[in-house]
Chain A
C-alpha cells in the first residue's frame, strides 16, 4: 500500500477545513477549538492541530489531505514534508483583504522554498465581497508560473477542479525535469 500526501495551507479562516471536508471519504479528523480571542471572532471554531482527510484511489494507493492549523504559521511545516509529498494548495479568502498580507507572506516563503508544485485557490468566490481572481493575482504578487483558481470550498466540484489542476501541474513538472 502506497500513500501520498497533499497539504492545504493558508491564513486563518480561509476555508482549509471546508476544502478537505468536501472531498474526504472519511469524516475529517480535525481538532476544532472554540475561538478565544475577540479579534478572530469571525467564526466559532478554528483548527488547532492538523486536519486530516482521505481519498482512496485503489487497492494500493491512498491520498491523504492535510490541512494546517489556521492561527499558527507553518514554520513547522517543512517537517511534514516527508516522503510522498506531492504538492500544496494555498487557500486565500477572496473576500477578506485583511488577510492578503499574510497570504503574501506565505506565498513569498513558497516562492523561495517550495520543493514541489503548488496552486493557489481564490476561495469564497461565491461571497458578494469576493475579489476577482485576476485582481487577487496582482494583489498577492503571484509569480506568473503559479496557477490561481477560483474556488468555493464548500462545493465538491470546485474542490475537485483545484485538486486536478494541482495534479496537472505536478505532471507538467515531471515532464520538464524528466
Chain B
C-alpha cells in the first residue's frame, strides 16, 4: 500500500495532519523543485529532518547555529575520527564545551527550519515510508506536530486555496473528541484564542468571524490551522434547516420502512 502523491494535491499541512492523527512512524521523502528533504516521525512526533546535501551532522548543525566556528569544526572533525553524532555529542558535553541544552536547541532549530521551508513548496513528489527511521547514531528530538501545523498555517496566503478547503462559512465548529487532542497544549495567538472561545455547534464560522471583527480570509486561515492541527471539526450547526428538496424523506411508516430495508439486506446477501 502506498502513501504517495504530489504536493499540488496533498499539501505539507495535510500530510503532517495525517501523520499526526494516525500517529505514524517512518520517513517522509519530498522531492522539491530544487532539493530533496527527508523528515522522520515516531508515533506522530517530529524527530529528525535532513535537507538535500546540507551538512546535517551534529558539527554541521552546530556550526550553522554559530555554536562553533568553521575552524573549530575542522579541529573537532580531525580529532573525532569516525565518531558518530551521539558519541560526539557526549564528548562535547563532557569536555564542557557545550551543554546538552545547546545541542538540543541547535538540532531543534535545524529540523524546524527544514520543516517550515517545506511549507513553501507547492510542487513535488512525496512518499511516506513506514518504519524507516534515521540512522541509529543520529541525535533525534521529539516535537508535537500541532504547534508546527498551526505555525505553518499562519502563513497561508492563498485565498482561493482556503476558500476551497473551507467553502461554507455557514457551518459550525466543534472540538474533536480525541483524548490526546488538548488545545491547552498548543501555543495559540490571541486572535486564535478569541476564535477558540466561540467554538460551539451553535455558532457558525461566519458568526464567529463577525463577533471577532475578522474578515473571511482571517477567519478561514485560523479555522484551517485548527482543523489541520486536528483540534476541531466542521459540523452542521444546530438547528440548521435543510434545503426543501433535501428534506423530502421517504414515507414515514417506520415499520414498513424497516421491513423494506430488511428485505433489501436479505436480497443483497443472497446475490
Task: Report yes or no: A78 in contact with B245, Cβ–Cβ below 8 A.
Answer: yes
List residues 38-93 of chain A with CB under 8 A from any CB of chain B. 55, 57-58, 61, 63, 78-79, 81-86
> Could you say which of A86, A115, A129, A163 contacts B246, with CB atoms under 8 Å apart?
A115
CA distance A108 to B240 in the complex (A): 15
Across the interface, A174 reaches (CB within 8 A) one of B234, B247, B254, namely: B254
Chain B residue at smallest Cβ distance from A98: B9
Interface residue? B66 (CB, 8 A): no
Is A164 interfacial (CB-CB < 8 Å)?
A: yes
Of A130, A164, A168, the contact of B1 (CB 8 Å cutoff): A130
Distance A128 CA – B250 CA, assembled complex (angstroms): 40
Nearest A residue to B17 via CB reads: A138
Q: How far is the CA of A23 from the CA of B2 in the complex (A)?
A: 29
Q: Determine the distance from Cα of A128 to Cα of B2 in the docked complex, in whole angstroms.
A: 7
Does B245 lie within 8 Å of A81, measured CB to CB?
A: yes
Chain A interface, number of residues (Cβ within 8 angstroms): 52
Counting chain B residues whose Cβ lies within 8 A of the other chain, the interface size class is: 35 or more
Whether a CB of chain B sits under 8 angstroms from the CB of A29 is: no
Beyond A97-B5, A131-B3, whether A105 also contacts B167 by CB under 8 A is yes
Residues of B221-265 contacting chain A, CB below 8 A: 227, 233-236, 240, 242-243, 245-251, 254, 257-258, 260-265
Judged by a CB distance under 8 angstroms, whether B14 is at the interface is yes
Let me know if B190 is at the binding interface, CB within 8 A.
no
Q: Mark B1-31, 1 if CB is under 8 A from A, else 0.
A: 1111110111000100110011000000000
Q: Is A101 an interface residue (CB 8 A)?
A: yes
Distance between Cα atoms of A135 and B14 in the complex (Å): 11
* A137 to B: closest C-beta gap in Å: 9
Q: Is the CB of B242 within 8 A of A167?
A: no
For B4, list chain A residues within 8 Å (CB).
97, 129
Is the C-beta of A171 less than 8 angstroms from some C-beta in chain B?
yes
Q: Does B75 contact A (CB under 8 A)?
A: no
Task: List, in ascending order, chain B residues with CB within 8 A of A115's CB.
Answer: 242, 246-249
Chain B residue numbers with a CB within 8 Å of A134 are: 22
Q: Is the CB of A174 within 8 A of B258?
A: yes
Q: Which A residues are CB-close (under 8 A) to B165?
A: 104
Contact at A171–B261, with CB atoms within 8 Å?
A: yes
Within 8 A of B (CB), among A88-144: 95, 97-98, 100-101, 104-105, 108, 111-116, 128-132, 134-135, 138-139, 141, 143-144
Contact: B6 with A97, CB < 8 Å? Answer: yes
Closest-by-CB residue of B relative to A108 is B167
Closest 7 CB pairs of A and B: A97-B5, A115-B246, A97-B9, A57-B267, A98-B9, A78-B245, A178-B254
Residues of B within 8 A of A (CB): 1-6, 8-10, 14, 17-18, 21-22, 164-165, 167-168, 170-171, 177, 227, 233-236, 240, 242-243, 245-251, 254, 257-258, 260-265, 267-269, 271
